[in-house]
Every structure is written in C-alpha cells, then in structure tokens.
Amino acid sequence: MKLKVNWLEYILGSEWEIYPAGGATGDAYFAQFNERKLFLKRNSSPFLAVLSAEGIVPKLVWTKRLENGDVITAQHWLNGRELKPVEMYGENVAKLLSKIHHSNELLDMLKRLGKKPLLPEEVLSDVKMCINTPQELPNLPLIQSAIQFLEQEVNHIKFDHHVVCHCDINHNNWLLTENEQLYLIDWDGAMIADPAMDIGLLLYWYIRREDWNNWLNLYGIHPTDDLFARMKWYVIAQTILSISWYHSKNHEKEVQHWLKYLQNLISN
C-alpha cells in the first residue's frame, strides 16, 4: 500500500513512492523512484553507521536531521530474503556472528552510547519483574522451578569478556541477498553482554544437539561445560520472558508452546 508521509516527501520529493516496511514502531519505510530503492527509518541508533561500515547491515546511504530533532537514515534496499530455519546451520551464519562478537569497533560505539554490560543479576531481576505483572504466572510450579534454577545458578555463570550481542537472532533477522551476501538486521535491542546469550538462543532454537560442537568450531570457539551452562541459563531466562510477553498479548497458543519448551529445558 502506497503511503503519503509528509516528512519523507519533504526529504525525498513527491516523485518517490513510499511503502510501510512493517516493524513494531511503524517508523520504517521502503521508498522507490525509478530504479533507485531505499530503506528508511526514523530515529535509528547512531550504532547503525558502525554496523554499516563493518558490513553487518546494508550500506548506509545518508543520515538527515529534521527540524523537530528526528533523525532519518537511508540504507540501500537490497533484493533478498530471510534465512530459513535450516539455513542457520550455515558457516556464513557462524562466521558473521563471530565477527560481530569479536568487533572492537562495535563494542566501542555501544560504550560511547552509554551502554553498560548486562549482568546475569540484572537479567534475573528483569525476569522476576516480568512474571509478577500477570498474577497467575508466578503461581505456576513450572515457572517457580525455572526461577529457582536461575537463582541457584546466577553466581556460577560469571563471564567477564563482554561483547556486542544482537539479542534477537531469530532467522527472520538474517537477510541473504541475491548475490549471497548475508546481513543481520534489526539492531534496536543490542546489548553489551555475555556472547552465550546469542549463541545459546541460536543453538537451542536451530541446531541439533549432536551438531553443536561442529557449529561452535565454525564460529571459532572451543566447546566447554562452562559455555553450555551459561547458554542454558540465558535460554531459560529468555523463555520465561517470552511466556510473559505472549501472555500479556493474550496469545494463549504461544504461551502453551513456550511453557512446553520450558518444561523440556528444565528436564534436560
């Protein structure tokens, strides 16, 4: 559906066709004029410039500031597709995530933007706060068991080498272009944290247990019991947060799915 967006027409000109790009905020758009195509977003983080320079997201074309203080960014709009779940096994995924986690440039930029390392104690506090909003969740024995596990292990999963974590490595956020270039997009939730946060979600969600060591070798890390313990801790925490979020949206089917998933996590 073509849109009339005054602030974009002010920047681009009325000859451009503008379409919604989806997303939670509704501040992302596609724009096209003849063969020129752009992806535009309002108030993206300054972090985007470093991600572009590192080749992790599509190239940043320009940044403009409006009179009201809003900042508009334009990136190349590339023809491509999201990865399929089975493609998360790929060496290209492991290599790109490793590049992100080992980038001092990304880490320095997030620090300059005021980000502090996200510690396990803070994650546990967030989890407890989330489940206390819908009153029935804290009373579920499964949730109680999961919280107890997080509390017992929180002091055993310390890790001092914090990196930039994407924190939402769902296959929908991986863009593969027509020329086989892979990008990781949607960086609004990026954190400085234990890399096990990203690695754990990716392995638990997409990679068969018997293939974990092979994938980690592609990433460039030696599998250890300590890594696996940290991965499991963060995956359990994220699963509880997902249950709480879906419950708040009255998505009962998803709530039941993640409760079953949590049961399997606690049992293994």
Domains, the chain, ranges and CATH? 6-77 (3.30.200), 82-267 (3.90.1200.10)
pLDDT of 198 reads 98
**Integer CA distances (angstroms), 165 to 162, 184, 200, in order:** 9, 11, 11
Determine contact, residues 82/185, Cβ cutoff 8 Å.
Answer: no
One of 168, 186, 211, 225 is an active-site residue; which one?
Answer: 168
Indicate yes or no: pTM above 0.85. yes
pLDDT band at 1 (very low <50, low <70, confident <90, very high): very low
Distance CA 127, CA 113 (A): 25
Cα-flanking dihedrals φ and ψ of residue 19, to 5°? -130, 150
pLDDT single digits (tens) 78-98: 889 999 999 999 999 999 999
Question: What was the pLDDT predicted at 259?
Answer: 96
Per the annotation, the verdict on 168 as an active-site residue is yes
Q: What is the pLDDT of residue 135?
A: 64
pLDDT (tens digit per residue) in 177-210: 999 999 999 898 999 999 999 999 999 999 999 9
CB distance 176 to 80 below 8 Å: yes
Pair 118, 110: CB distance under 8 Å: no
Query: Which has the higher per-residue pLDDT, 62 or 65?
Result: 62
Predicted confidence at residue 79, as pLDDT, reads: 85
Return d(Cα 195, Cα 205) in angstroms, integer: 16
